Amino acid sequence: MRIVAAAIGVFCLSLLLTGVSLGSIGVSVKETALRYFTADEIVRGKSYMGGRYLLFAARSAVTLAFFLLFTFTPASRALRDLSAVWAGHRPWLAVTLYAACLLLLYRILLLPMDTYGGYLREHAYGLSTQGLVGWFTDWGKGLLLQVVLLLPTVNLLYLFIRRDPVRWFLPATGGLGCLILLLTFLAPVLIDPLFHTFTPLRDADLKARVMRLAARAGIAVEQVLEADASRRTVKANAYVTGFGRTRRIVLYDTLLERSSPEELEVVLAHEIGHRKYHHIWKGVGLSILGLFLGLGIAALVLRWGAARDPLAHPADPAGLALLALTLFVLSLLTLPLQNAVSRHFERQADLAALELSGNREAYVKVEVDLARSNLADILPPRWAVLLLYTHPPVLERIAVAEEP
């Protein structure tokens, strides 16, 4: 019960923090905000994003409570025993069954919250264009994808743990590092098409602009694709993904529909900026470093678990809940650092966008339009930025263009 109380505590604390921050915005910042946005837009963005911060807190609290309860009650051992009965003398099957059941239970537990946040709330704010059947199809596809990716991954981990219960994290980092590289390469052609249809950019003028920008940045751009995002959302977006032959820049059709050629040029210049600074490679490198540290700590925690009551041995499949708990807590603790790195990359790409396009006016217009169409929190609380923001808040991005 203490665990549930702690989880509820985390949730209430975040509620309180959101409340406190809403009332404490400086006057001069508010004036700057009102130069670009109406008071209505600010209130609406705050209400939409405020709910998202709370959903994040609630989801984290539920995740924490679920894995804690699973680890420190007989539930984990019961599932382990059941999996062992089904698997017979095949340790890989016992791990597979345990992992599949744990994932399924977790996803079903989160389903009401995810339906509320991902479907009902998006419709309430007029952001979603997707029907309920479509939304559940996406949910099912996502779950299936998780199963397909997770089961070989945990089997690989447990193969290493069985071989060397102390130093398994070293080969595991190597193995999973290769998997990260493979996924970064294949995701644009294998995973992304499960959710969107991609077509080559049709606008010849825009294509010519991209080539000019890329030449200016001194890099090659092979593919610029358009994604049919409007089937799901009115939100606008663009991103770079893949490497080598799968490298591409993707623009949402929602963005193409409502932006002028000059604004699209700024967006493309930002994406070219990511390429110029090798952000994909740096991201892969940091993920592998994080994996090394995370698995190293997980190895210590599993040994601790085996020395006490919960686990029979570090390679006991019942330790999967403890492993998941450890990695989840670590990812939560390092979230501010991960997002600080991401915001640094975004700032670099923004500077590149300004430099390559040379169009401050279009840059500001893009930032304002994106914030409007995605219902951004124009004046986000500082804690939310530090904890959750992968991009700098819109006023900070605009300020970059206004510096002399």
Give contact residues for Zn ion (rule: CB under 5 A).
346, 349
Q: Give the CB-nearest residue to Zn ion.
A: 349
- With tokens 């009902």, the residue in question is 120
Neighbours of 205 (CB within 10 A): 9
Q: Which is nearer to Zn ion, 298 or 353 (CB)?
A: 353
Q: Which is nearer to Zn ion, 10 or 280 (CB)?
A: 280
Element (H, E) at 341: helix 335-357
Minimum separation from the CB atom of position 349 to Zn ion (A): 5
Minimum separation from the CB atom of position 232 to Zn ion (A): 20
What is the spatial distance between Cα 234 and Cα 130, in angstroms, rounded to a whole number?
Answer: 10
Beta bridge partners of 239: 250
What is the spatial distance between Cα 47 and Cα 126, in angstroms, rounded to a whole number?
Answer: 13
What is the spatial distance between Cα 250 and Cα 270, in angstroms, rounded to a whole number?
Answer: 12
Q: Which is nearer to Zn ion, 155 or 348 (CB)?
A: 348
Contact 56, 118 (CB under 8 A): no
Minimum separation from the CB atom of position 346 to Zn ion (A): 5
What is the spatial distance between Cα 69 and Cα 294, in angstroms, rounded to a whole number?
Answer: 21
Q: Which is nearer to Zn ion, 41 or 271 (CB)?
A: 271
Q: Which is nearer to Zn ion, 349 or 356 (CB)?
A: 349
Cα 59 versus chain centre, distance? 14
The two three-digit tokens of residue 315, written as one number = 């390679």
Q: Which is nearer to Zn ion, 115 or 348 (CB)?
A: 348
Minimum separation from the CB atom of position 267 to Zn ion (A): 9
Minimum separation from the CB atom of position 362 to Zn ion (A): 16
What is the spatial distance between Cα 305 and Cα 55, in angstroms, rounded to a whole number?
Answer: 31
Minimum separation from the CB atom of position 279 to Zn ion (A): 8
- Dihedral-angle region of residue 382 (phi above 0 means left; psi in -120 to 50 means alpha; beta otherwise): alpha
Q: Which is nearer to Zn ion, 240 or 375 (CB)?
A: 240
DSSP secondary structure, 298-331, as one string: HHHHHHHHHHSSS-SSTT-GGGHHHHHHHHHHHH
Minimum separation from the CB atom of position 331 to Zn ion (A): 21
Q: Which is nearer to Zn ion, 13 or 219 (CB)?
A: 219
Minimum separation from the CB atom of position 342 to Zn ion (A): 9
The two three-digit tokens of residue 346, written as one number = 């975004």
